[in-house]
Amino acid sequence: MTQPTINDFHTILPMIVLSVWACLLLLVDLFIPKDRKGITALLAALGLILSLGFNLTRIGMESVGFSGMVVLDGFATFANVLLLLSGLFGVALAYGYVRRMGIERGEYYTLLLFSVCGMMLMAQAADLIIVFLALELLSIPLYVLAAFARGDMQSQEAGVKYFLLGAFATGFVVYGTALVFGATGTTSLGGIFAAASAGASTGSGNGLMFTIGAALILVGFGFKVAAVPFHMWTPDVYQGAPSAATAFMSSGAKVAGFVALLRVFSTSFPALASDMNGILWTLSALTMIVGNLIAIAQTNIKRMLAYSSIAHAGYILMAFVSYGNPQVASVSIASGMFYLMAYTLTNFGAWSVVVALEKAEGKGLEIADYAGVARKHPALAAAMAVFMLSFIGFPPTLGMVGKFYLFRAAIAGGYTGLALIGVLTSLVSAYYYLRVVVNMYMREGELVPEREPWLGFATALTAAATVALSLVPQWVFLLASTAVMK
Amino acid sequence: MIPLSWYLILAAGLFSIGLFGVLVRRNAVAILLGVELMLNAVNINLVSFWRYGDVLKMTGQVFAIIVFAVAAAEVAVGLALVISVYRSRNTVIADELDMMKW
């Protein structure tokens, strides 16, 4: 039994800082009066910024901690920055929203912090036990956040549905993990790879167990990132949950899920690439097609964005199909990380507009309600137009650059058909994204957006970043390339 | 000694019963029970893999403990969510949670 050393703690310092902060915040929150819960929000944001600061000092560092259970590398650092930014945007969107909707309680922010902790642990996990632990740490607070509007029946329903499907998916992940453990005798990601390469030469009967295990892990994470056909829960949960919570879970949980998938599959299962390619290809194509087609029929903006998030999971899966091909794997992982960043910024921007326009009792959530917003509030409408264009992949936005990199990586990996499906579904998606813009600019209406400083700041920042970063894409792509695992 | 495969078949059977329960039962609490069966199947797998593998490495046992600790936390949150639904609707039948439809 080895004692933990200081290096072990250094490896996961940003996550430790955040989890300790979250525990303290839970206590401090008791002494903050009911009508001053904004202080809790500010303290939560401070904790996230502190953790982000520690995380930024870790750029370029590489280490392994706790007997190889956790790892710190460029991939983890990049993902952590993205996840902490998601947390900050999540707090900014919630700040005014929860008060306005009468669901302001300090636990909201504590739960959000714990969830971010789980996501960061997920990015740093180097062992399937930690992957499972992180998965639960990120999911359980999200179940509660989905049901946070206790008096609202839709929110309760969203919480229960998310919980039942999430627990179901967890069952698959752990069963798969157990089979992989049985086949290889280890749960360490690197150890699994070593055992699989050694076992391939002896040709033992464990191969089948190994493949089934990996496939079950894929199914479980398919649920988490909302890939078709494991997406059924997404629209209901995204619609029912409070909008600020949905914004956070649709970005943070998706980033964490994909980060874990990328890490686990490219570290442990390269040997299975030939079996998995077809499955991943089908998953990606189905997710893009089904997500985009059903989104057309939606009239509720939250539901439309839910299907849009499903469709975007399909695009990101595209980066994932060629994970076992050493020539293109690093470029496609970098493209995937780039797209995750583009998606996070755009998604938070779009949800911040939804939050600004939502009224009590679920009013102002129909796309038709958005009519006439441009006349009285040109800045807000322009920001929404930027986000919608970025979702479509229209220049000059980050979404366009992201899709360009993804399609290029897919073609380089020899999946021209998949890239073609991507282009065609993007064209289809223009229909329902532009409908929002058309409603805002060309119809008459009376909807008045809420004016909240942090919310407006988040909208402006994400809109500016979506446009500005697309002008220096090679610089950002270089940053994403540092995130490629060795 | 009983061969390892018997334990694995038992676990697979238990997992399938749990899966069946989740897919077929309409009561939210019963669905939760199905999920628990799935997780317990995993525990049987883990412990038997440990027993028939390298007994000195504790990975399998430790993992099994983590699984049931986490499962307990999950159930605590899950039942709270089910109760909050029950309070406002007087039902925990999953089919009746249908306010949102595509």
Other CB atoms within 10 Å distance of the CB of residue A372: 18
Across residues A98-122, what is the average pLDDT? 94
Do the beta carbons of residue A323 and residue A281 sit within 8 Å? no
Do residues A418 and A321 touch, judged by C-beta distance below 8 A? yes
Distance CA A18, CA A359 (A): 33
Residue to mutate among B67, B82, B95, with most A CBs inside 10 A, is: B67
What pLDDT was estimated at residue A3?
Answer: 82
pLDDT grade for B54, boundaries at 50, 70 and 90: confident
Residues 6+ apart with CB under 8 A from A263: A75, A123, A125, A189, A485
| b/e burial code for range B9-29 (CB count within 10 A of at least 16 → b) | eebbebbeebbebbeebeebe
Q: What mean pLDDT value characterizes chain A?
A: 92
Any bridge partners for residue A64, and if so which?
Answer: A71
Nearest residue of B to residue A236, measured between CA atoms: B100
Distance of residue A140 Cα from the nearest chain B Cα, in angstroms: 7
Separation of alpha carbons B5 and A291, rounded Å: 41
For residue B49, give the chain A residue with the closest CA. Answer: A182
Cα A246 to Cα A306, A356, B71, B97, distances in angstroms: 9, 14, 24, 19
B100 lies in some domain: no
Domain-embedded: residue B101? no
Give the mean pLDDT of A242-250: 95
Residue B8, chain A, CB below 8 Å: the answer is: yes
Q: How far is B41 from chain A (nearest CA, A)?
A: 8
Q: Cβ of A213 under 8 Å from any chain B Cβ?
A: no
Written as six digits, the tokens of A350 are 């779009």
Nearest chain A CA: its distance from B53 CA (Å)? 7
Confidence of residue A483 (pLDDT cuts 50, 70, 90): confident
CA A206 to centroid of chain Cα atoms = 34
User: In the predicted model, what is the mean pLDDT of residues B43-65?
Assistant: 92
Interchain contact, A168 vs B38, CB within 8 Å: yes
Question: Is the Cβ pair A187, B59 closer than 8 Å?
Answer: yes
How many CA atoms within 13 Å lie on the side-chain side of A476?
23
Q: What pTM, to 2 d.p., does this model score?
A: 0.95
Which of A161, A178, A236 minimises the CB distance to B42? A178
The answer to whether A159 and A150 are in contact (CB under 8 A) is no
B21 touches chain A (CB under 8 A): no
CB contact (8 A) between residue A167 and residue B94 = no
* Contact criterion met (CB < 8 Å) for A235 and B100: yes
Say what the pLDDT of residue A1 is: 55
Across the interface, whether the CB atoms of B32 and A167 are under 8 A apart is answered yes
Residue-wise pLDDT tens digits, A282-327: 999 999 999 999 999 999 999 999 999 999 999 999 988 988 888 8
**Residue B55 domain-assigned (yes or no):** yes
Q: Which residue of A has its CA nearest to B41?
A: A175
Residue at B35 is within a domain: yes
Query: What does the alpha-carbon distance between residue A457 and residue A43 come to, in Å, rounded to a whole number?
Result: 18
Number of domains in chain B: 1
Distance, in Å, from the CA atom of A438 to the CA atom of A374, rounded to the nearest integer, reads: 10
In the predicted model, is pLDDT for residue A336 greater than 80? yes
Contacts of B85 in chain A (CB under 8 A): 156-157, 160
Residue B34: domain span: 4-94
Closest Cβ opposite residue B45 in set A147, A178, A297:
A178
Band the pLDDT of A482: cuts 50, 70, 90. Answer: confident
| Facing residue for B35 by CB, picked from A151, A171, A186 | A171
**Distance, CA of A260 to CA of A266 (rounded, Å):** 10
In a domain, B32, yes or no: yes
Supply A123's token pair. 């990015």
Smallest Cα–Cα separation from A237: which of B89, B100, B74, B77? B100
Q: Parse chain A into domains and list their residue ranges.
A: 274-486
CATH of the domain at B52: 1.10.287.3510
Q: A159 CB near a chain B CB, below 8 Å? A: yes
pLDDT at residue A39, rounded to an integer: 94
- Residue A63 dihedral angles phi and psi, to the nearest 5°: -160, 165
Compute the Cα dihedral for A467, A473, A479, A480 and give only its sign: positive
A220 in contact with B, Cβ within 8 Å: no
Give A398-455 pLDDT, tens digit per residue.
999 999 999 999 999 999 999 999 999 999 999 999 999 999 999 888 888 888 899 9
